[in-house]
Structure 1
Amino acid sequence: VKVTHRNVANILLTEPGALGIRPGDRVAQLLNIAFDMAAWEILGCLAHGATLVIRGKDIPAAARTATVLIATPTVLSGIDPAACPRVRAVAVAGEPCPRPLADAWARRAAFHNCCGPTETTIVNTMSRHDPSAPLLTIGRPTPNNTVYVLDADRRPLPVGEAGEMWAGGDCVSAGYLDNDGLNAERYAPDPFLGGGRRMFRTRDLGRWTPDGQLEHLGRTDD
């Protein structure tokens, strides 16, 4: 996937994607560097003058010294929130997050449940979770980005009706390298933004809630 500097800067240098990272923070580098979310840990940390905590084999040990954690729910589930009193911000993505895990961390830190494939540059929606909320959502589009919930004819669906999520805006990457067929299948002109912009077919199912949040409902290819 051809991800541009503009794509990456948009998520790392705007809130909430920047996660409030600043000098003095310690960001734990927990993920495999071949995974796109590792760029969020590494580049997000260095872009804001924070300290990157390089882990060894002991992931919880690195987390205990950190103030910011970026992880998949599976990785985060192996870390005890009570053992990480310094952590002030947590972001998860890459797979659905169990509600009990989100609640446990949200009681101790700013917990962001996020969603987005590599083609939309790490994540393109984020939600700061409140344990008292009725739903654990994937939130709203991050700045300079849009999400469209469309039917099979690519027409917007009303609030509450499930459809396929398409992503637009500055998150949309430049396409697959040397794969015109897949580019034609997954990328399309964005009729809502216009101006030559493109949107990406995520194959995620979702719906808008009445308060403007996105609820993730699985995949079209499950």
Structure 2
Amino acid sequence: ELLLAAGAGATMVIAPPTVFGGDELTQLLHRNHVTHAVITPAALATMDPTHLHTLHTVLSAGEACTPDLLTRWATTPDAPHPRRLFNGYGPTETTVMSNCSGPLPPSGPITIGGPIRGTHTYVLDDRLRPVPTGVTAELYVAGIQLARGYHNRPALTAHHFVANPYGPPGERMYRTGDLTRWHPDGNLEFLGRRDHQIKLRGHR
């Protein structure tokens, strides 16, 4: 969010801590003529995009984007008020985004794109071997922004931050616990969890 504004010399609008979504957030965006927004799917689901004509770029992140949100928020380029919907992905351990899609078409599919700059993503089986395109397996993330581990939690760190057999010596990668698969076009599709973890408004 900081880079979106600072990198373009634009004005950043920060929602007050009491505004979570719905009409309040819609009015805030409308009143301030917001053009780009980073919003969780939970908040997007409570809002009506009909009158947000200045809002032409939305980055959905923090939870899984649903087909309903895609239909409501993404438009075709020839629409009267075109809007691009991007889908961001990344666990907290990557501080905080590791992947981002391109503009998603209203008809889908919903992907999380490829790794952003400085990030490497691998879809690996239980023996840390890459799986073919279209095969579902666990997503691993590596790169310079990856956390070193969990503070004073050596056992948990050793379980989730494992040696990266595809990187330089000493590099680690993070086991996300998320199931994904590669599309032939090089985009990743998020398919759920290996465990019973859930997210509410971006928080585990």
| TM-score of the pair, normalised by structure 2 | 0.81
* 1:98-139 superposed Cα distances (whole Å, 9 cap, x missing partner): 113123322132211111110012211111233265511111
- Alignment pair present for 1:216 and 2:190: yes
Matching residue within 2, 9, 13 for 1:53: 13
CA contact (8 A) 1:168 1:198 kept: yes
For the aligned residue pairs, the C-alpha RMSD in angstroms reads: 1.8
Find the counterpart in structure 2 of residue 129 from structure 1.
103
CA contact (8 A) 2:70 2:107 kept: no
1:49-198 matches, within 5 Å, as 49-56=9-16, 57=19, 58-64=24-30, 65=32, 66-107=34-75, 108-131=82-105, 134-198=108-172
- Alignment pair present for 1:201 and 2:161: no
Question: RCO higher in 1 or 2 (8 Å CA, sep ≥ 6)?
Answer: 1
Decide whether aligned partners of structure 1 residues 160 and 189 sit closer, same or farther in structure 2, where only a CA change above 3 A counts.
same
**Residue 163 (structure 1) shift:** 0.5
CA contact (8 A) 2:139 2:178 kept: yes
CA distance in 2, matches of 1:125, 1:186: 19
User: Which has the larger share of helix?
Assistant: 1
Name the aligned partner's letter for residue 60 of structure 1.
Answer: T
Point out where structure 2 has 5 or more consecutive residues left out of the alignment: 76-81, 197-204
Where 2:132 maps in the other structure, the secondary structure is coil
Find the counterpart in structure 2 of residue 4 from structure 1.
none
Percent identity (aligned): 37
CA distance in 2, matches of 1:53, 1:159: 40
**Residue 145 (structure 1) shift:** 1.1
| TM-score of the pair, normalised by structure 1 | 0.75
Find the counterpart in structure 2 of residue 19 from structure 1.
none
Decide whether aligned partners of structure 1 residues 81 and 212 sit closer, same or farther in structure 2, where only a CA change above 3 A counts.
same
CA distance in 2, matches of 1:192, 1:133: 35
Name the aligned partner's letter for residue 128 of structure 1.
Answer: G
Where 1:74 maps in the other structure, the secondary structure is helix
**Residue 143 (structure 1) shift:** 1.4
CA distance in 2, matches of 1:126, 1:51: 23
CA distance in 2, matches of 1:50, 1:176: 36
**Residue 214 (structure 1) shift:** 0.6
Decide whether aligned partners of structure 1 residues 133 and 190 sit closer, same or farther in structure 2, where only a CA change above 3 A counts.
farther
Name the larger-Rg structure.
Answer: 2
